[in-house]
Structure 1
Amino acid sequence: MISVFFVVDGPKLETQAHFLAASILQHMAGRCRFYAYVRPGTELPETLMRLFEKAGIALRSIPAPEGRDWRKPYPIGNKLLAAADEREGEIAVFLDTDVVFCGPVDFEAALGDATVAAVLSDFLTSAVPTAQDWEPLYAQMGVPMPLERPGTLRRPNLDYPPYFNAGVVLFRERTQDGNIHVGREWLDMTLDLDHQVAFAAQRDNLDQITLSALGARCGTPTKILPQRYNYNIMGWGDPEPGSCDIAHYHLIGRLWKSPTVGTPTLRALHEHMGAEDLARFVDRSRAFLRWRRAKQLLRQVG
């Protein structure tokens, strides 16, 4: 069985988790194990707990750092602490909470024979602006610099090594020989980078920098997935029907501007929450919802 996990930490992610859970119910129910990682002692909204129960999403505590912590606060590191957790099964999938499923996904087929897989980033990172700047980082991470130069999704002809968006990451829980816990390796690599390399910009991209080398550290290069597995609707606009399996919306307001993603998401929310819980959800989350446009869509689907 495949384990799919995401982080719910704070009111904004709680709001986004409602959309994700509704899309899981709509497209992925019974296909995977699902886990929501939360801070110990967190009390989630009742509306979200009912959605989680309906979708079979189990709660887990974000593990505490062992031995060393981030050099300074790094909230994105919660995903890495969760990745390093022990789960049953052979394959894990990390999801940013601001994604929704647009259809069923066969994660095992997508990963194939690879150990790690993700979609290329739309843009390069200003922390590592050129291919030459990657060379000392690869040396520090202990793997050879890749010869492949796929560029970015926006600039496919750019002389730039593979650099991935970490919003959807597929990985084996352990390497085939069982010697490396892949999620733990990702965490350790990122902690090493945080403590050993000073970046002038975009420290929040540490997880994506190490993701580029994670596969090689585990025996095979990180596999480049098609864009449909992490489709950035904020950058690319509304996807053509059937061209997007997982949509990454980033901003909730952008979700409502996407008829092929936002409208089905609201329809799923309305179907699986019911009118009373939906009203409670809106009242609690109004600050994040950009609700004027969403109400117009809801009238269409309700």
Structure 2
Amino acid sequence: MTSQTLSILFVADGQRLEWQSWLLASSLAMAHEGHQTVRLYAYASDSYLPEVSAATRDLYAACSVDLRALPPTPGWRGDYPHGNKLLAASDHRAGGRAIFLDTDIVCAKPLTAMADLPADTVAAAPEGLPTWGREDDRWERAYAHYGLPVPTERVRLLRGRKKEFVPYFNAGFVCFSEDPQGAEGKRFADHWLETALDFDHNCSIGGKRPWLDQITLPLTMARFGYKAEVLGETWNYSLTRRKDYSQTPDAEILHYHRAAFLEQAPQWPAILSDFWGRMPERHHDTARSCLEEMGLTL
């Protein structure tokens, strides 16, 4: 077992994300029971922190989640809420490695294997579909912005025809080193945020939103010499519009997008039962009401 710290972080900035974070936090706590090197972090903006409910704060305490303020929002070219993941990633934690998770996720198995990856390696699963740069020269222009050729390696996308595509990853699960790399003393998260800001302002190319985080993830790897650990789909298994949920694999991560899809997963009853055991009983009525408003049938 590794002794390296693994920080797992997510954003709970806003009411719906806060409700989703209950299931994520409790499932992370369940999956990592007894793993002393795992640290959990939730992030919200300074303006939203006073609005975080007592139910959330008490559940976080029960799950050993450290609630923190997001670093200040940088000067995006326009409104970009997805950028909060880059801000959360850029915060300073305990070193070792970190995993950023989208909040519409539940964890079904320990993620501790990610702690053993080399410091120069970033791990993520391919995107399901080619949501950006599918039919034109956008990737050529994106890499040319940094004086780089398009990589020759390809990844196999995880949905539809599962076509081979340029390196393109779903940014709902990204694992990276927290330690500085290179002479400048910057970490991967610093490089990712720097690249996203530059690309947002200085690369004249269309359709950046909401894909800016996913576009600049492989660009950051190429710019700064990070290696990609291409994960299988169980590390970021999308539940969206599956034909047969009885075939859901024994996955580490279930990425549900909408609550109705989560309810169909075989792992859901155990995750829900554990959640009720961790949420203090005095908040059960409130939690039930909020989760039902989120779209669950309890």
Same fold, TM exceeding 0.5?
yes
Contact 1:37 1:60 in 2 (8 A): yes
In structure 2, do the counterparts of structure 1 residues 241 and 235 end up closer, same or farther at CA, with 3 Å as the change threshold?
closer
- Structure 1's unaligned 5+ residue stretches are 296-302
Instruction: Give 1:72 deviation, angstroms.
Output: 0.9
Contact 1:37 1:59 in 2 (8 A): yes
In structure 2, do the counterparts of structure 1 residues 130 and 265 end up closer, same or farther at CA, with 3 Å as the change threshold?
same
Aligned residue pairs, count: 288
1-structure distance, mates of 2:249, 2:157: 23
2:172 corresponds to: 167
1:136 corresponds to: 141
* Secondary structure, aligned partner of 2:79: coil
Q: Which of 198, 215, 226 is equivalent to 2:221? A: 215
Q: Which of 288, 293, 296 is equivalent to 1:290? A: 296
2:61 corresponds to: 53
1:248 equivalent to 2:255? Answer yes
Instruction: Give 1:151 deviation, angstroms.
Output: 3.8
The 5 Å alignment of 1:1-302 reads 1-31=5-35, 32-41=38-47, 42=49, 43-65=51-73, 68-108=74-114, 111-112=117-118, 114-125=120-131, 127-130=132-135, 132-154=137-159, 158-177=163-182, 179-201=185-207, 203-236=209-242, 238=245, 240=247, 243-258=250-265, 260-291=266-297, 295=298
2-structure distance, mates of 1:144, 1:156: 26
Contact 1:116 1:214 in 2 (8 A): no
Per-residue CA deviations over 1:121-167 (Å, capped at 9, x if unaligned) read: 00002x41147431110121444321112241236763521100000
In structure 2, do the counterparts of structure 1 residues 109 and 64 end up closer, same or farther at CA, with 3 Å as the change threshold?
closer
* Secondary structure, aligned partner of 2:179: coil
Following superposition, which runs of at least 4 residues in structure 1 exceed 6 angstroms of deviation?
none
2-structure distance, mates of 1:96, 1:249: 10
In structure 2, do the counterparts of structure 1 residues 2 and 137 end up closer, same or farther at CA, with 3 Å as the change threshold?
same
Question: RMSD in angstroms over aligned alpha carbons?
Answer: 2.3
* Secondary structure, aligned partner of 2:174: strand
2-structure distance, mates of 1:24, 1:156: 32
Contact 1:173 1:181 in 2 (8 A): yes
Contact 2:119 2:177 in 1 (8 A): no
2-structure distance, mates of 1:202, 1:279: 41
Per-residue CA deviations over 1:156-183 (Å, capped at 9, x if unaligned) read: 7635211000000000123544633110
Q: TM-score, normalised by structure 1?
A: 0.87
1:299 corresponds to: none
Q: TM-score, normalised by structure 2?
A: 0.88
Structure (1 or 2) with the greater helix fraction: 1
Per-residue CA deviations over 1:54-98 (Å, capped at 9, x if unaligned) read: 111101111113xx5111100000111111112221211100011
In structure 2, do the counterparts of structure 1 residues 235 and 101 end up closer, same or farther at CA, with 3 Å as the change threshold?
same
Contact 2:138 2:205 in 1 (8 A): no
2-structure distance, mates of 1:112, 1:235: 35
- Structure 2's unaligned 5+ residue stretches are none
* Secondary structure, aligned partner of 1:124: coil
